[in-house]
Structure 1
C-alpha cells in the first residue's frame, strides 16, 4: 500500500523523541512491501540537526512551514492508500488534521497515530467537544498509539474512535546494539532526555536528587534544555546527543536511567524509546516505577526499579559491574525475543490489511 505519513520528523531526533519510533516502524513496513512517503515540516531547527540522511526505504518530503507548502502536501494525500496524521507535528497540526482527512480518497485507510496519547487525552477532556480531534475522531478507521494499554484504548473509544490499538515502542537491533564504551560517555549513571515541563520534576527527583545523595559518583545527562539548569557538581551535561551516539551513550556508564513523563507515568503501559534502546545495547537500566512495566521487562532480573531518588541512589551504591552486566544481558535477550520493530510492524501490517478488507466489504455491500 502507498502510505502518506504526516509527522514531526523522520530525519532528525532534535527535540523529537518520536524519530526512532517512526524509523523502526516505517522501515519494517517498507520491508513488507508498503511504499512510504513521510511529510515533515522544516521547523524547530530539526533540518539543521539531522542525524540521518533520507533512507532508501522511504521518500521524505521536507516542506517549508508556510500555508502555501501546507496546501501542497495536503493535496498529495489523495494519492495514498493509507493516510496517517501523527500527533505533535509541531506546526499546522489542526490544519493538517482536517486537511489530509478531507483530501484522502473515500477508499483510503485513515489513521490518527498518537505518540503522546496521555497528553492528547487530557487535552480532549479539558477542551470538551470543541477539541479539533474530537470533532473528526469518528472519521478515522484506526487510532494507533505509542502506548498506554487498556486505559488509553478505553478513553479513545469512549471519545468515539472506531478502534484504538497501542503499538508500543520497540527495538531495531540493526540500529541499537552493543558497541565498545567511549570515555566521553563514562559515568555511574546516565540519563538522556530533553528538558520538558512534564518531565522536569521527575528528573529532579530521580536523577538530580540521586546525584546529590551520591556525591562520590559520576552522573551524566544528555538532551536539550538542561544548560540553564542548576545541578550538583558531580553531574556533567552533554547537550544534544545524536541518534548515532546512543549506543555508546548506553554502553559506557555503569547504568542508564529511564524517567517517564508525568502523563505517561500516571497512565502506565508507556515505555519510552530509551527503554528499548538501552536494553538493545545491553545496558543495565534503572527505571522509575510505572504500571505495566512487567509486560516488557522483569524487575530485579532484567531491569532495576526505583520509586524515588533515594532508591535510585541505593541501586547505584550497591550495583557492581558484574550485576550490571547480567541485568543488561538479560534485558537484551528479552527485548530481542519479544519487543522488536519486526513484531510491531507485523501488527500494523495486519491492521492495515484488515482495515482494507473491511472497506472492500462495505463497498461491495
Structure 2
C-alpha cells in the first residue's frame, strides 16, 4: 500500500508529540512492506530544531510553498491512502487536493481530538478543519476514543470513525543503562502546557516540596521563569527522543500527566505513557476514563490524585515497583507497539475501502 500523509512535522520533535508517533508508525509500516511519504511544510521554528533528516521506513518531503506540492501532485496523489492530520498548516488546501484529484481512500487523522472539540465548543475557529467539516473523508481516525468518536460524527459529520491510539516503538524505547545526569527518585517528562500545570504541581512539585531528601528531575521545553522550582528539582531543557530511554531508565519512578482537555474526555493515552512503560520504568499517573483499557491500575500502573499518592508510590519497595514496571512493559509489547498500531491502521484503511466497494 502507498500512503501519503500531510502532517504537522515528523522532522522535529521540539515542543510537539506528533513527530515521535509518526516516526514509530512509519518505521513499522515500512517494515510491513508499505510505502509512506510524509509531506511537511518547511517552517523556520521546526527547521531550527530539526532532529531528523532521513525518515526510517518512509520518505520525507519538505516544501516551502504550496506550489511545490502541486508540482509533485502526480506522485503524491497516486496513492492508496491520502491522510490529512490535525495541526497540518495547509490542512484545508490538502483536503481540497486529495478530494478533487486523489485516487485513494481519504482519511483525516485527528491527533488532538479533545483540543479540536474544545475549541469548537468555545466557538473558536479551528484552522486545520475544512469549512464543511469531515463529511467528505472516507475515514476519520482519532487519537482519542470513547465519547470523542460520537462527537466527531455529531459535530463534524464524520461518516466512519475509529480510534487509532498512541503507541511506542520498542526499537527506540527500551531498557538502557541509567545516566547520572538524569538520575532521580521521581521524574517527569513533558513540554510545558498551562492547563497541565495544576496536576504537575499536585503530583510532582508538591511532593518535591514535602520530600527534600528525594531528587526530582523535570525534562521538557518552554517552561517559564516563574515555574515553582524547588531546590531538589533539576531541570533538563528539551530531552530529545533518542535520550528518552536514558531519561526514564535513570528514574526510580516517573510521573505521567495528561492535558486537561484530554483527561476530561478520557480514552486518550499519551505517547509518554507507553514510552515509559516500554523502558521498564514504573509509572504513577493521573486518572481518567478509559485508562484501565490500556493498563490495569495497581498491577501495571499506579494512580495518583494528589501529593500523598505520589509520596505513597515513592515509599513502595524496589521489588514492588519492579513488578509493576515489568507488567506494564509486557502489556505494551503485547498491545501498544508501533507495529501493532501500524497493522490496525492498515486494517482500518482496508475496511474503509471494502465498505466503499460494496456501496458502489
TM-score (structure 1 length as normaliser): 0.91
Q: Does the 8 A contact of 1:218 with 1:234 survive in 2?
A: yes
Helix, strand or coil at the partner of 1:138: coil
Select which of 107, 115, 125 maps to 1:119. Answer: 115
Q: Does the 8 A contact of 1:51 with 1:244 survive in 2?
A: no
Helix, strand or coil at the partner of 2:177: coil
Match of 1:155 in 2: 151
Helix, strand or coil at the partner of 2:303: strand
Inter-partner Cα distance in structure 1 for 2:125 and 2:206: 41
Q: CA deviation at 1:44?
A: 5.2
Helix, strand or coil at the partner of 2:45: coil
Q: CA deviation at 1:127?
A: 3.1
Structure 2 residue ranges without an equivalent (≥5): none
Q: Does the 8 A contact of 1:190 with 1:255 survive in 2?
A: yes
Helix, strand or coil at the partner of 2:212: coil
1:186 aligns with 2:183: yes
Q: Does the 8 A contact of 2:10 with 2:22 survive in 1?
A: yes
Match of 1:46 in 2: 46
Q: CA deviation at 1:31?
A: 2.6
* Distance verdict in 2 for CA 1:44–1:190, change over 3 Å: farther
RMSD of aligned Cα (Å): 2.2
Q: Does the 8 A contact of 1:83 with 1:100 survive in 2?
A: no
Match of 2:134 in 1: 137
Q: How does 1:298-309 map to 2 (within 5 A)?
A: 298-309=296-307
1:22 aligns with 2:18: no
Select which of 337, 340, 354 maps to 1:340. Answer: 337
Inter-partner Cα distance in structure 1 for 2:237 and 2:38: 27
Match of 1:82 in 2: 81
1:213 aligns with 2:210: yes
Q: CA deviation at 1:227?
A: 5.2
Which has the higher mean CA deviation after the structures are superposed, 26-35 or 270-279? 26-35
List per-residue Cα deviations over 1:232-285 (Å, max 9, x = no partner): 111111001011001011111111110000011101111100111101010011
Match of 1:262 in 2: 260
Inter-partner Cα distance in structure 2 for 1:73 and 1:108: 16
Match of 1:276 in 2: 274
Select which of 320, 326, 329 maps to 1:329. Answer: 326
1:55 aligns with 2:51: no
Q: Would you tell me which structure has more helix in proportion to its own residues?
A: 1
Q: Does the 8 A contact of 2:6 with 2:84 survive in 1?
A: yes
Helix, strand or coil at the partner of 1:111: strand
List per-residue Cα deviations over 1:280-314 (Å, max 9, x = no partner): 01001110111111111111221111012332133
Inter-partner Cα distance in structure 2 for 1:11 and 1:59: 11
Q: CA deviation at 1:23?
A: 1.8
List per-residue Cα deviations over 1:60-100 (Å, max 9, x = no partner): 01122x454465567764333211111023x3444444x33
